[in-house]
Amino acid sequence: MRFRNSIAPALIAFAAVAALTSAIRSAGAAENCCAPATRDWPVTTGSHAGQGYSALTQINRSNLDNLGLAWVTQLSAEPITSPVPAPGNDVTAQQTTPIVVDGVMYLNVPGGGVAALDGATGAVKWKWVPSEEANGFGPTFQQRGVSVGEGKVYTSAAGDRMVALDQETGQIVWAVQPIAPDGSAFGNIAKVRPTYHEGLVYMGTNDGGRGTLFALNARDGSLAWHFYSTYPAGTSFTDVNGNTFDAGHTFTTRLTPNDTPNDCYLTAGATPWMHPTIDVELGLLYQTFGNVRSCNGSQNGEGRPGDNLFGSSVVAIDAKTGAYKWHFQMVRHDIWDMDNVLPPTLADVMIEGQVRKVLFYGSKSGFQFTLDRTNGQPALPIEHREVPADTRQAPALTQPFPLQGYFYPQCVSLQNLGSEVPGDQNRMVPNWNGYQAEPDPERPGQMRLVLNPNNYLSPSEPFLIGPLPYKGCMYDGSYDGFVTMSMTSQNGGNDMTNTSMSPGLNLRYVGISFSPVGHPLQQGGNGLRQIGGYQTGGLAALDNSTGEMVWYIPMKLDLSRQHNPLVTATDLLFHTQMDGFLIGRDARTGDELWRYQMGAPSQAGTISYEINGEQFIATTNMAGRQPYSQDFNGQAVFAFKLGGDALYHTGPRTNPEYVTGSQEAPAPPPIATWRRPVGNTTAGIVPENEIWLARSTGNDNSAPDSITTGSMVPSVRTVPVGTTVTFRNPGVETFPGSPNVLEHCATQFFEGEFNFRLQPGETAQHTFTREGEYFYNDCTDPRPVGKVVVTLDPQDQPGALMFTPDELDLRANTGIFTSVMGEITARFTVPSGYVLDSKESVLLETPLTSQLFEASTAVMSENNSALIVTFDKGTIDNNIPEGTAIPLTLTANFMHDGVQKKLRSTATVSVVK
């Protein structure tokens, strides 16, 4: 399965990068602002500047193969020490990234709380989980890190509390429920990472009324200042450039039509989802605020005309006093849930021969703006372009765009059905925006997507102004039932992953996600991701001085969910992934050099620190449920060092269980929702092997011509290979009192197996000849989507499988998992007349995981009597236990007399580790 991105990497000569590197170094970075992390990693992004950069040099490209596991600690399994000692548990999932101060690691634990670990050994110094019994409040469950200062560790807890713990013991020093000076509540306090700096602790609210950043005095938790994200009419600000404006007037008109003041700002909820960055030299704090979420909803702008400040903005604030200094709004009048809460990254960068104090500001829309952080003015050019608009949305007619090169496509791809799958990362599902399938005369066997002017969006045309809409480009709008698919995804672009950077290479690194999405008014805050579309990701390297892309690595999985990359002075780059891997790359080129399996999805940042002269790399495997809704999550912290020879284990450190005999954990279960899943409408009265189009349910009283997402009935039809399925547009013969009266389609994507256009009462049939998942949707309105799952039961072939030799040597010669090398060879005897269908169908089942492993090579023998297969030892080592009579099962698909068949056989082997 191959990915292709429709944007070509804008490669630049490495010599030019080297020249810029020399210039930057000679210019000298302002250490007070942007000094890199060294022995410690005191905040989750390494420094208050947010660069994710370590100056440590012990681990480099020449010795990376010797980077092994130093220790692993299963946090939940470890006993609770305070406030009430208790045994460990099996709770999983947390969004935390660790920090390290004076050799001690601090981080949130799954389920809520804080732990302190010895950074060299992983031993638990203390573990605090609040309890109603002991302190009158419990934990809060979704946390993104802690902060340390003045001998205290700062975190959040239930009841919208901020808590300071003794750094040495984990005992509560103070716990407060911050409120505004007028006595009003700030709102929910939980998800944002607290940030300590010079006597103050900064924290933001989430899912609350106005969206608030506040500062507490570290000594006692008292309120020092607060800054709201939305204001009433009559609230004026003057920025450092001398511009004065009324923030309330940008949020709404002064008076509503009936002359009643509009108090929408009180519930606008422009949330500071993430922590701020701080310029310690200038004394400025930079906070990003999300989109406005109230006044009829985040994707309905009718009740909030104006730009809606400070929604979808970065605001510079005096770190001591909370006074406003300047702002830059990335999305005006946000009706797409663009949030733009990615914490900015600060740097001193050479631009056109001058060292500039800049701020890199990224977003879900996939842009990176380069601003002068002293005044908010563009350091690289920006223009305000006219965008498509629906007048019913009280829209902004222009939006800001950076002029430098783009690393993220502006529009969806209308790639042919029947071409490569998955194909372009920005590929749009057919029928959205009126682009319907028809045979491509230039490419037989494929269907092209062509605009049908008479489509479901046509009734909106009288309300449209500006450039040609509905091309699936940035800032295409939606209204009521007229939903447009575009590139403005609610967790696409560079959403929450820190933009890390290398001062030496003059590059910054952006983790991104691809997930085209629609924005119906009724969808709430998250949009309608295209059902059946793939949610993928990538990693881009951008030149700091020009904004141009240097290289791009497409990835199967989302990389925008707090996978904060670590960049080192030795030009290494590390990042986590949702498939459980920690990846090490060459920061100059993006080439993969090293990978380690942690056993559960991760959306944590990666950090580096030094203890007793040894450099460590560390991260966690505690991914939350977004964006793939996995039920399988972890609870572990991992640390690596050169020569690290620890084995992976589960359970508490006092009673470890070495499940793999390897340094790596078993692979997690495969991600089931890589493609956005369909609904769960059951068959009801629909006959077997039949599908009814555009009905609200499978009952005899279902609504006709339904446009809800679950209106293909049943949503999922499972059939064996060789089954003929009938697609029906139910007319009067099926529902005499409430027939469908419109044409409906079943357009199969992305393989392009069929494209049925059926009038009421018509049927069409398709025979499914290969196993797989076959999504399809309607042309009348693209939201109804169904899926046919075609299964192929395996035929057991006892004795057909043989491994040579039958003793598998999986020993790590150096003690490091990377030295498990070589291949395992298997011979699978097949019946006469069977021919391998595809190499991708050859899969190995191992005892320690439900994930199946593809063969390295798979070829038929000269006389077609056997399939000869190899598997990489390093890939399967951690999924096979040591011992005798270990079962390994191989399955493969073959063609026999034109019919697909699946053969399966199991053999036992001895495994030495």
Q: pLDDT (tens digit, 9 = 90+) per residue, 734-793?
A: 999 999 999 999 999 999 999 999 999 999 999 999 999 999 999 999 999 999 999 999
Rounded (5°) CA angle 171-106-87: 60
pLDDT at 567 over 70: yes
By the 8 A CB rule, do 164 and 154 touch?
yes
- Could you give the count of Cα atoms lying within 13 Å of 20 in the half-sphere of its Cβ? 24
pLDDT at 524 over 60: no
By the 8 A CB rule, do 851 and 887 touch?
no
Q: Which residues, at least 6 apart from 904, have a Cβ–Cβ distance to it below 8 Å?
A: 794, 795, 796, 797, 889, 890, 891
For 645-650, what is the mean pLDDT? Answer: 98
Q: What local confidence, expressed as pLDDT, does residue 5 receive?
A: 42
Taking the mean position of all CA atoms in its chain, how far away is CA 103?
A: 30
Give phi and psi for 545, each to the nearest 5.
-85, -30
Q: Tell whether the torsion through CA atoms of 716, 719, 725 and 726 is positive or negative.
A: negative
Q: What local confidence, expressed as pLDDT, does residue 294 receive?
A: 73
pLDDT at 139 over 60: yes
The two most distant CA atoms of the chain are separated, in Å, by 88
Give Cα separations from 584 to 18, 252, 276, 596, 853 (angstroms): 22, 48, 27, 9, 22
By the 8 A CB rule, do 486 and 396 touch?
no
Q: What local confidence, expressed as pLDDT, does residue 417 receive?
A: 99
pLDDT at 527 over 80: no
For 180-197, what is the mean pLDDT? Answer: 93
Q: What is the spatial distance between Cα 248 and Cα 229, in angstroms, rounded to a whole number?
A: 11
The pTM score is: 0.95
Domains and CATH numbers, the chain: 690-791 (2.60.40.420), 794-912 (2.60.40.10)
For 708-719, what is the mean pLDDT? Answer: 96
Q: What local confidence, expressed as pLDDT, does residue 304 receive?
A: 85
Q: Tell whether the torsion through CA atoms of 174, 176, 180 and 186 is positive or negative.
A: positive
For 689-703, what is the mean pLDDT? Answer: 97
pLDDT at 21 over 50: no
Q: Which of 175, 152, 173 is nearest to 162 (CA)?
A: 175
By the 8 A CB rule, do 637 and 618 touch?
yes
Minimum mean pLDDT among 60-74, 460-474, 481-495, 641-655: which range?
481-495
For 79-99, what is the mean pLDDT? Answer: 96
Q: Tell whether the torsion through CA atoms of 23, 28, 34 and 37 is positive or negative.
A: positive
Model confidence at 263, in pLDDT bands (50, 70, 90)? confident
The Cβ of residue 38 has, within 10 Å, a number of other Cβ atoms equal to 16
Q: What is the spatial distance between Cα 211 and Cα 493, in angstroms, rounded to a whole number?
A: 23
Give Cα separations from 683 to 265, 679, 700, 744, 887 (angstroms): 46, 12, 11, 18, 39
pLDDT at 210 over 90: no
Q: Tell whether the torsion through CA atoms of 611, 168, 565 and 65 is positive or negative.
A: positive
Give phi and psi for 14, each to the nearest 5.
-65, -30
Q: What is the spatial distance between Cα 390 and Cα 465, in angstroms, rounded to a whole number?
A: 6
Q: What is the spatial distance between Cα 348 and Cα 327, in angstroms, rounded to a whole number?
A: 20
Q: What is the DSSP letter of 677?
A: P
Model confidence at 696, in pLDDT bands (50, 70, 90)? very high
Q: What local confidence, expressed as pLDDT, does residue 623 receive?
A: 84
Q: Which of 197, 265, 187, 272 is nearest to 33 (CA)?
A: 197
Q: What local confidence, expressed as pLDDT, does residue 187 receive?
A: 86
Q: What is the spatial distance between Cα 167 and Cα 105, in angstroms, rounded to a whole number?
A: 11
Q: In what order do the strands lie in the sheet with 324-329?
A: 277-279, 284-289, 313-318, 324-329
Q: What is the spatial distance between Cα 805 and Cα 802, in angstroms, rounded to a whole number?
A: 9
Of the spans 248-262, 329-343, 875-889, which averages the highest pLDDT? Answer: 875-889
Q: Which of 242, 244, 225 is nearest to 234 (CA)?
A: 244
Q: What is the spatial distance between Cα 777 and Cα 492, in angstroms, rounded to a whole number?
A: 23
Q: What local confidence, expressed as pLDDT, does residue 253 receive?
A: 56
pLDDT at 491 over 60: yes
Q: What is the spatial distance between Cα 846 and Cα 850, in angstroms, rounded to a whole number?
A: 8
For 618-638, what is the mean pLDDT? Answer: 87
- Three-state DSSP at 174 gives strand
Q: Element (H or E) spanning 672, and its range?
A: none
pLDDT at 295 over 80: no
Q: What is the spatial distance between Cα 68 and Cα 714, in angstroms, rounded to a whole number?
A: 49
pLDDT at 364 over 90: no
pLDDT at 7 over 70: no
Q: What rounded mean pLDDT belongs to the chain?
A: 92
pLDDT at 667 over 50: yes
pLDDT digit string, tens, across residues 45-61: 999 999 999 999 999 99
By the 8 A CB rule, do 835 and 895 touch?
yes
Q: Which residue has the higher pLDDT, 437 or 191?
A: 437
| Alpha helix ranges (H) inside 562-659 | none
Q: What is the spatial distance between Cα 606 and Cα 594, in angstroms, rounded to a whole number?
A: 14
**DSSP annotation string for 730-765:** --TTT-SSS---S-EEEEEESS---EEEE-TT-EEE
Residue 701 burial class via C-beta count within 10 angstroms: exposed 0-12, middle 13-18, buried 19 and up: exposed
pLDDT at 469 over 80: no
Q: What is the spatial distance between Cα 767 and Cα 790, in angstroms, rounded to a whole number?
A: 10
Give phi and psi for 21, each to the nearest 5.
-55, -45
By the 8 A CB rule, do 538 and 5 touch?
yes
What are the residues facing 196 on neighbouring strands? 201
Residue 409 preceded by cis peptide, ω within 30:
no
Give Cα separations from 65 to 404, 593, 809 (angstroms): 38, 8, 20
> Dihedral through CA 293, CA 295, CA 296, CA 300, nearest 10?
-70
Q: Element (H or E) spanning 24, and its range?
A: helix 14-27
- The residue whose two tokens read 């010669």 is 813
Q: What is the spatial distance between Cα 584 and Cα 592, in angstroms, rounded to a whole number?
A: 6
Minimum mean pLDDT among 101-110, 332-341, 751-760: which range?
332-341
Q: Which residues, at least 6 apart from 828, have a Cβ–Cβ distance to it below 8 Å?
A: 797, 800, 801, 866, 867, 868, 869, 890, 892, 903, 905
Q: Which of 512, 588, 502, 494 is nearest to 545 (CA)?
A: 502
Model confidence at 365, in pLDDT bands (50, 70, 90)? confident
Q: What local confidence, expressed as pLDDT, does residue 523 receive?
A: 55
pLDDT digit string, tens, across residues 868-895: 999 999 999 999 999 999 999 999 999 9
Minimum mean pLDDT among 262-276, 635-649, 770-784: which range?
262-276
By the 8 A CB rule, do 773 and 785 touch?
no
pLDDT at 254 over 90: no
245-281: burial string, b at 16+ Cβ within 10 Å, e else: ebbbbbbbeeeeeeeeebebbebbbbbbbbbbbbbbb
Model confidence at 340, in pLDDT bands (50, 70, 90)? confident
Of the spans 9-23, 623-637, 682-696, which averages the highest pLDDT? Answer: 682-696
Q: What local confidence, expressed as pLDDT, does residue 424 receive?
A: 97
Give Cα separations from 91 to 109, 319, 598, 641 (angstroms): 9, 37, 17, 28
By the 8 A CB rule, do 560 and 491 touch?
yes
Q: What local confidence, expressed as pLDDT, does residue 909 receive?
A: 98
Q: What is the spatial distance between Cα 488 and Cα 477, in angstroms, rounded to a whole number?
A: 10
By the 8 A CB rule, do 405 and 548 touch?
yes
pLDDT at 333 over 70: yes
What percentage of residues in the chain have a pLDDT greater than 90?
80
Q: What local confidence, expressed as pLDDT, does residue 2 receive?
A: 37
Q: Which residue has the higher pLDDT, 207 or 151?
A: 151
By the 8 A CB rule, do 785 and 709 touch?
yes
172-196: burial string, b at 16+ Cβ within 10 Å, e else: bbbbbebeeeeeeebbbbbbbbbbb
Model confidence at 709, in pLDDT bands (50, 70, 90)? very high
**DSSP annotation string for 360-408:** EEE-TTS-EEEEETTT--BSS-EEEEE--EEGGG---SEEEEE-SPPSS
By the 8 A CB rule, do 19 and 12 touch?
no
- What is the pairing mode between strands 200-204 and 195-197? antiparallel
Taken as a whole, the chain contains a residue count of 913
Task: Kindly state the tokens that stand for 498.
Answer: 């820190």
